Amino acid sequence: MELQVPPGLTELQAIEGEDVVLPAWYTMRGESPSAQPWEVPLLIWFFQQKGKDLDQVLSYINKALSSKPRVSLVHAMPSRNVSLRLQALREEDSGTYRCSVTVQYGQDTSSDHSSKSIELNVLVPPATPSCHVLGVPRVGTNVTLNCQSPRGKPVVQYQWERLPPSSQVFFPPVSDPTYGSLKLTNLSTSMSGVYVCKAHNKVGSAKCNVTLEVISGPTAAVVAGAVVGTLVGLVLLAGLILLYQRRGKTKE
């Protein structure tokens, strides 16, 4: 008896949320591909995450099938095709799956045993990123637009662009595809607009955007002058009130 998997198959890749089949079957030397009435297969599928203990996820023993949630066989037992189906994949389903089959020969005490392993790597599309501005967007100053996605596998990359009417796509060194930052220097009012960040990897993408409003120099000066003028006025008013109170006391 020999347990088999597709030739050259060492790792399967699947996307989170989807289903996947881990293909495996056994053959008996010199026999037909179909299970024989005298065969009594004992089947166990194991799962092991890196750095953790071996865990049993499915078993077919004494004609009784037992499995964990989201785990099932593709074909009803008894069958020589012992492929495993995993549903609604999660990232934590990544790891090594080992199929172990023992075939007993009816009333005979003799048996054959074989096992094979398959690596499963569950990939995760980027989660919706968050965008924000670091710095005060005033004419002549510098700001940094930041973009970060909370999860994704493989590593998430970032691409910044500016929407019409002044379309623009940014590349390094202004834009950092690894950390998701975009540095804008010597700001001008013409640089105001909507900036979009695209977080992407080989299995998907997600976007966020931020609106940049660059404050012009004169506007900023008027605002600052108004604040200063108000403060000076309050100080003068307080001084007049104090002077008036002192003169009242003197007359008394």
Please name the fold of domain 130-212.
Immunoglobulin-like (2.60.40)
pLDDT score for 217: 61
What φ, ψ does residue 249 adopt, rounded to 5°? -65, -35
- pLDDT tens profile 184-218: 999 999 999 999 999 999 999 999 999 999 998 65
Mean pLDDT, to the nearest integer, of 144-150? 98
**C-alpha neighbours within 13 Å on the C-beta side of residue 131:** 20
Tokens of 153: 């596998």
Lowest average pLDDT, out of 9-13, 85-89, 94-98, 130-134, goes to 9-13
Confidence of residue 252 (pLDDT cuts 50, 70, 90): very low
- pLDDT tens profile 150-173: 999 999 999 999 999 999 999 999
What φ, ψ does residue 245 adopt, rounded to 5°? -65, -40
pLDDT score for 46: 98
Q: Decide if 2-123 and 130-212 have a common fold.
A: yes
Give 92's DSSP letter.
G
Domain ranges across the chain: 2-123, 130-212
CATH no., domain 2-123: 2.60.40.10
**Over pLDDT 70: what percentage of the chain?**
79
For 173-213, the DSSP string reads TTEETTTTEEEE-S--GGG-EEEEEEEEETTEEEEEEEEE-
- pLDDT tens profile 86-98: 999 999 999 999 9
Confidence of residue 145 (pLDDT cuts 50, 70, 90): very high
What φ, ψ does residue 226 adopt, rounded to 5°? -65, -40
In the predicted model, what is the mean pLDDT of the chain? 85
